[in-house]
Structure 1
């Protein structure tokens, strides 16, 4: 009897084990689809998120190997979006694991399938998030600086009693100023006065996947002329003119110097057209260089993106990923900067994305007096965005958002953070723009 019943008993035990694993697989696939639907729906908390952007976010999460953490080697997905209702439905399909007993029986031999729908509700505008957790001046306006963000919120995570600083003749104007610690400055420096002891606001872009960094396409790229070379050329031109004007030394000196400088500084720009890729050693843009960035993602690796005196850079639907210890950006005085972030893909809405393993407190500088259009988000989770221009910055952008360790302004700059989200098709990344709403799963 034992010999006769053993196969039956083994069949029951094997079947029970198979059923447990099959049920567990279905549950894990459901959890995965719930997570993907929720992440996609959270994009609708942003003012102008598109269906393509929601699909790109879901695809990016899957491409990052997220499904492997749930135990699936391959998953087929379908994303259905109802933008009017703020709904995202994710359908997932996966092959079941090979079973001991039940693989030849229905429904265990069929593909695993599940569906989840998430809905987004609510939202408010956030345009500055300073991630510094303890140091003073995580947001600082000094001397005669102006930070104007009248229709959005400014958030500082620093527990310091001087987490937000507005000193001298500086002013910070925002819809709300919220400090996890304290603030330094009086009623003439803030509008409104900061709300203190606010909850810490988590990095809203912590889950955003950075772009893939491949092999180098360019090394130590440099365009235009160095300032010292320009001045040397101007001086040489002046000396040459003096030599030719022996009969009138004074006139020759004056005319030669003026003519030499004018000729050097008005010698005309050379246009350089750059393509997306990996720029190892950074990019240096000097005088008389008019650099046009074609749409796409640019990896600035192990070097800086420098726009020096007299440089011009323009780019529509571009994003820059800064990776390596020396990867910063510098927009010098008299440089013309006109940039808008990508519309689609994992970098959509992000203008600058700093590697999360970068050295802490690196400084990224905007000194340009002609950086009126910087449309997108500065995501510098390890760095400091320093603004020290003389004329307004970003005031002609439909929107500009800053998520950085620190935001520091000194001198007499005016940084304007608009929130005209409906005036552009560049989406606002998850967690900035209109946030504070909720998402829920609909059965």
Structure 2
């Protein structure tokens, strides 16, 4: 394109018989060519540097995740970084000198990629070689498995406790993505106890509340670890606006308008996936809901869970299939900030991952929730505890055959770019 423009300019000036114009153009031509060369070479070198930066970022993150392994040492972590970077560069037809360094005390990995590139046009004007390089540092925050992520970044109280509420996660990590000053908040004699507590913004508690340990603040925001997890398929309506008032066993299917269970009945769910389309899973009136290896897919307006105070809930996630390890899966296109409520005082087993990326999970029971689950993981837009509940997030991953989704639980040590 640039060459074509220059050719047009030359043709135009050749047609001009004014000698002065030709003299001026002749004097300006080297500068024009140099300018064109700068533009062309800059584009090529910029693309190369972008490729270097992408490789440095990815390799630093990959190597930093090696810190979660018990046998991690500087040599093995460095080797992972350099091999990953070399593979990444080869995939995009680039090459360069790769150097990685590891700081075990700071839990960081730094990767540098450099080369001396030959210019395509600028060498005609004396600038034959140009240095191109990129650098990335990744660090690990905490060494515990992640069992809570509050995804909301732009509002206060992404994780919020009040009125004697307790979040017990002694073997795993709690993260709030909120960048606000009170993104992580506890008041009225509430507490969080975890292996590690992290907030992308600030935290707030009054003199009667406690965080143990004290939160690490200004943490990097965690990406949704399940963002690439595909939703289950949906079919035609198995039932519409179903109201259950007699004890029965239900089978997997699509329940349009939801299911409402009440009047002291006992409902058993056969293994499989239950789709709630534009309606709730509502259990009230002393009813019981039990299901082993079930996945509950919440899709659309009003597709929420609500377990009332006097109900009994006992649910475990699938062992395999599209929702393996996921007990509740909220569709990412559902309305924002719909509230999912666990008020049941007999919800000892909620085994699996509660994935509610658009909604708020509110725990409002007065007795411990999920205390008898091998593990429970919460990934929600907001996570709130009110009216004196205790939410127990066990991390006994090896004691169950229900898998933990990639990105959370064991092996989810959070590595972040810190360059």
TM range (shorter): 0.5 to 0.7
Using the TM superposition, give the Cα deviation of residue 438 of structure 1 relative to its aligned residue in structure 2, in angstroms.
9.8
- Per the alignment, residue 127 of structure 1 pairs with 147
The separation in 2 between residues aligned to 1:340 and 1:135, in whole angstroms, is 32
CA distance in 2, matches of 1:425, 1:358: 30
- Counterpart of 2:188 in structure 1 is 168
Structure 1 distance, partners of 2:390, 2:144, is 24
CA 1:410–1:306 in 2, change beyond 3 Å: closer, same or farther?
same
User: In 1, Cα distance between the equivalents of 2:143 and 2:323?
Assistant: 22
Who is 1:340 aligned against?
Answer: 316
User: Is 1:194 matched up with 2:215?
Assistant: yes
Aligned position for 1:287: 263
RMSD: 2.2
SS at match of 2:178: coil
Task: Note the C-alpha offset of 1:324.
Answer: 1.2
Question: What's 1:111 paired with?
Answer: none
Give the whole-Å Cα distance in 1 for the aligned partners of 2:308 and 2:412. 36
Q: Which residue of 2 aligns with 1:9?
A: none
Match of 1:220 among 241, 265, 287: 241
Matches within 5 A, 1:144-183: 144-183=164-203
**Distance of 2:261 and 2:361 partners within structure 1:** 20
Contact 2:264–2:285, Cα closer than 8 Å, also in 1? no
Shift in Å at residue 288 of structure 1? 2.1
Give the superposition deviation at 1:143: 1.4
Using the TM superposition, give the Cα deviation of residue 186 of structure 1 relative to its aligned residue in structure 2, in angstroms: 5.2
CA offsets, 1:327-349, max 9 Å, x none?
00100011000000000011000
Q: Is 2:282 the counterpart of 1:306?
A: yes
Per-residue deviation, 1:321: 0.3
Q: Separation in 2 of the partners of 1:214 and 1:366?
A: 27
Q: Secondary structure at the match of 1:143?
A: coil
> Deviation per CA, 1:338-370, whole angstroms, max 9, x where unpaired?
000000011000000001001111000011000
Give secondary structure in 1 for the equivalent of 2:247: strand
Asked if the contact 1:157/1:200 (under 8 Å) is kept, the reply is yes
When residues 143 and 438 of structure 1 are mapped into structure 2, their CA distance, relative to the original with a 3 A threshold, is closer
Structure 1: gaps spanning 5 or more residues? 1-38, 47-121, 225-269
Q: 1:192–1:124: structure 2 CA closer, same or farther, 3 Å change rule? A: closer
Distance 1:318 1:123, change over 3 A: farther
How much does 1:185 deviate? 1.0
Structure 1 partner of 2:351 = 375
1:398 CA drift (Å): 0.3
Q: 2:371 matched to which residue of 1? A: 395
Figure out how many residues of one structure are paired with residues of the other and give that number: 278
Give the Cα–Cα distance (whole angstroms) in 2 for the partners of residues 172 and 123 of structure 1: 18
Distance (whole Å) between structure 2 residues aligned to residue 145 and residue 438 of structure 1:
27
1:315 pairs with 2:291: yes
Higher relative contact order (CA 8 A, sep 6+): 1
Q: Deviations over 1:245-302 (max 9, x none)?
A: xxxxxxxxxxxxxxxxxxxxxxxxx430000000011000001210000000000011
Name the residue aligned to 2:31.
none
Contact residue 153 and residue 178 of structure 2 kept, 8 A: yes
SS of 2:410's equivalent in the other structure is: strand
* TM-score (norm. length: structure 1): 0.61
Displacement of 1:123 in angstroms is 7.4
**How far has the Cα of 1:437 moved from its partner?**
5.6
SS at match of 1:422: helix
Deviations 1:193-236 (A, max 9, x none): 11100010000000000001111111111111xxxxxxxxxxxx
Partner of 2:339: 363
Which of 180-189 and 366-375 deviates more? 180-189
Contact 1:123-1:435 at 8 Å conserved across structures: no
C-alpha separation between the residues in 1 aligned to 2:414 and 2:194? 23
Match of 1:136 among 131, 134, 156: 156
Distance between the aligned counterparts of 2:414 and 2:390, measured in 1?
Answer: 34
- After TM superposition, what 4+ stretches of structure 1 lie above 6 angstroms from structure 2? none
The equivalent residue for 2:232 is 211
* SS of equivalent residue, structure 2 residue 398: helix
Distance 1:190 1:136 in 2: 17
Q: C-alpha separation between the residues in 2 aligned to 1:414 and 1:422? A: 24
Structure 2 unmatched runs, 5+: 1-61, 70-141
Kindly indicate whether residue 410 of structure 2 is the aligned counterpart of residue 434 of structure 1.
yes
